[in-house]
Amino acid sequence: MCYNKFMGENNMNYTLKFNSSNMMNIKYNEISNGLYEEKKSKFYSYIFEITSRLEAIEKINKVKEDNKSARHIVYIYSIKETHGINICFSDDGEPQGTGTKAIYETLQKSNITNICIVIVRYFGGILLGAGPLSRAYLKSYKEAEKMCIAVPIYNFIDHSFRIAYSKFNKITSILKDYIYREEVIIINKEFKDIITLNLRIREDIYIKMLNKI
């Protein structure tokens, strides 16, 4: 199931990045993973950073392909798009509201998006009940999340500068700190009769940077 959540103009969204000194056994190029066990059922969680629905589907299908004997494979992914946040999820046959609901609420509370979470459940032979089952899925996600840090997602504006060769060193010196802080990305440089710098500038510092240059 998928739906679109309206995104207010002043909402800051975040995504997750790996932030731990602990080494992990990476299986699917995920940014983090975790394991939670409850009454012999094992819940393996995988968090992926994504930029499109297609990318999310590819990650989900890869996990499914490698875990065909699992009882359930639930997932939820969230993508920031032009007009809002697109959210898709599946509880894969688990009782309604027990697979991804608590995870969804956690993501919404923290404004986390551009990630895909896949949780593989290997049944241990003991039924858990709705409450314990929902908590087990959430705790599995939390096991992976605790090795991550939330980082802001910024919008960028493309801008071209035409500068004289005599000013090139001065301009690149100004840009150096912005580039180091990942506030500016140099797309390309063109050296002809005049130099053209094609940049991608973080929206929140766009005017400030233009005034400085």
- pLDDT for 56 equals 96
What CATH number did the domain enclosing 198 receive? 3.30.70
What CATH number did the domain enclosing 39 receive? 3.30.230.30
Looking at the fold, whether 122 and 193 belong to one and the same domain comes out as: no
The pTM is what?
Answer: 0.81
- pLDDT for 22 equals 67
- pLDDT for 48 equals 97
Place of tokens 């999310």: 56
User: pLDDT tens track of the chain, all 213 residues?
Assistant: 786 776 555 578 999 998 876 667 888 999 999 999 999 999 999 999 999 999 999 999 999 999 999 999 999 999 988 778 999 999 999 998 899 999 999 999 999 999 999 999 999 999 999 999 999 999 999 999 999 999 999 888 999 989 999 999 999 898 999 999 889 999 999 999 999 999 999 988 898 888 887
Looking at the fold, whether 25 and 81 belong to one and the same domain comes out as: yes
Choosing from 135, 152, 169, the residue where a domain stops is: 152
Looking at the fold, whether 144 and 194 belong to one and the same domain comes out as: no
Looking at the fold, whether 177 and 83 belong to one and the same domain comes out as: no
SS (H, E, C) the chain: CEEEECCCCCCCEEEEEECCCCCCCCCCCCCEEEEEEECCEEEEEEEEECCCHHHHHHHHHHHHHHCCCCCEEEEEEEEEECCEEEEEEECCCCCCCCCCHHHHHHHHHHCECCEEEEEEEECCCCCCCHHHHHHHHHHHHHHHHCCEEEEEECCEEEEEEEECHHHHHHHHHHHHHHHHCCCEEEEEEEECCCEEEEEEEEHHHHHHHHHHC
Looking at the fold, whether 144 and 183 belong to one and the same domain comes out as: no
The residue range of the domain holding 148 is 2-152
- Structurally, how many domains does the chain consist of? 2
